[in-house]
Amino acid sequence: MAASIAYLGPPGSYTEDAAIAYAAWLNESTGAELSLHPAASISQALKDTQNGQAQFSVVPVENSVEGSVSMTLDTLWQLESLQVQRALVLPIAHALISCAPSLNAIQRVYAHPQGLAQCQTWLERVIPQAQLIPTSSNTESLKHLQVEVMAGAIASQRAAELYHLPVLAYPINDYPDNCTRFWILSTQPSPGGRYTSLGFSVPANVPGALVKPLQVFAERGINLSRIESRPTKRSLGDYLFFVDIEADASNSAVQAALNELRKYVETLKVLGSYSIMPISEHHH
């Protein structure tokens, strides 16, 4: 099987930027040549790796402005064999792309809901006349520009280059330090590293259902860098928790914590121990 990376497509998405960066890093460090395969959704990208159609998946986990990507967490909870190999943090800068003669002429702006949310203040201030229309991807947004001259779209500068479209304003995100964290997953065991991610479900509505699992880490001096709750979808008030700890799962204190944790949770999934891949600003 040719080594390949499944990612949330279509080409021109920020996730493709992350996939390109990972492929370049892997090529430098191991000489492996990887091809990129766009998938229609995050869950499809992950399933392609789970069932062997791709060697890796690259998916967004969390944005610094908008928070967690629930589709990634929910899908990983359902799948059995995927392990995080690396994390990758990319700066996200949005461009307003349009064939309109000026910003005032823009009547509609198409964008992924995350893009709209991350540029909300700018849009209200600079083009308050524009109607905002959510789409399923940055690239889908760009397709509208070919037929609607007075429309704009929010996507990356690289997407504008790929589709040969003019950039009217850049960067337009409200927070200059906007970053997205991506995970690279495969069915191989995780390589180990400074961070470990886990998911667990707790017995519904018992006092201390979350306190006890968290104490397990606190008592051993293990720092939590993130905690996130997701509904289990079984019933209201029934939750899964996703936790990132700053330690390797092979560490004896972490092993002891995980053994004790199993007493208080229904299901525990260790998604892997990994490090964050250093990324240069210009990896294109």
pLDDT of residue 280 exceeding 70: no
Domain count, the chain: 3
- 43 falls in which pLDDT band (50, 70, 90)? very high
Q: What is the CATH number of the domain that holds 40?
A: 3.40.190.10
Residue range(s) defining the domain that contains residue 159: 95-169
Q: What tens digit of pLDDT does each residue of 141-199 get?
A: 999 998 999 999 999 999 999 999 999 999 999 998 889 999 999 999 999 999 999 99
Q: Is there a domain that residue 39 lies in? A: yes
On whether both 185 and 250 belong to a single domain, the answer is no
On whether both 79 and 207 belong to a single domain, the answer is no
pTM for the structure as a whole? 0.85
What is the C-alpha separation between 149 and 144, in angstroms, rounded?
Answer: 9
On whether both 8 and 85 belong to a single domain, the answer is yes
Strands in the chain per DSSP E: 4-8, 35-39, 56-63, 67-68, 83-91, 95-98, 108-111, 131-134, 151-155, 167-169, 179-186, 195-201, 224-231, 239-245, 267-277
- 209 falls in which pLDDT band (50, 70, 90)? confident
At 114 the pLDDT is: 84
On whether both 186 and 212 belong to a single domain, the answer is no
| Exposure on the CB side of residue 129, measured as CA atoms within 13 A | 9
Q: Is there a domain that residue 283 lies in? A: no
On whether both 86 and 102 belong to a single domain, the answer is no
Percentage of residues in the chain having pLDDT higher than 70: 95
Q: Is there a domain that residue 159 lies in? A: yes
Q: Is there a domain that residue 282 lies in? A: no
On whether both 209 and 223 belong to a single domain, the answer is yes
Q: What tens digit of pLDDT does each residue of 70-113 get?
A: 889 999 999 989 999 999 999 889 999 999 999 999 999 999 88
Domain end point (choices 128, 159, 190): 190
Q: What is the CATH number of the domain that holds 250?
A: 3.30.70.260
Determine the distance from the C-alpha atom of residue 12 to the mean position of all C-alpha atoms in its chain, rounded to a whole number.
15
Domain end point (choices 138, 160, 190): 190
At 236 the pLDDT is: 66
Domain end point (choices 190, 222, 251): 190
Q: Is there a domain that residue 227 lies in? A: yes
* Average confidence score pLDDT of the chain: 90
On whether both 51 and 105 belong to a single domain, the answer is no
On whether both 238 and 253 belong to a single domain, the answer is yes
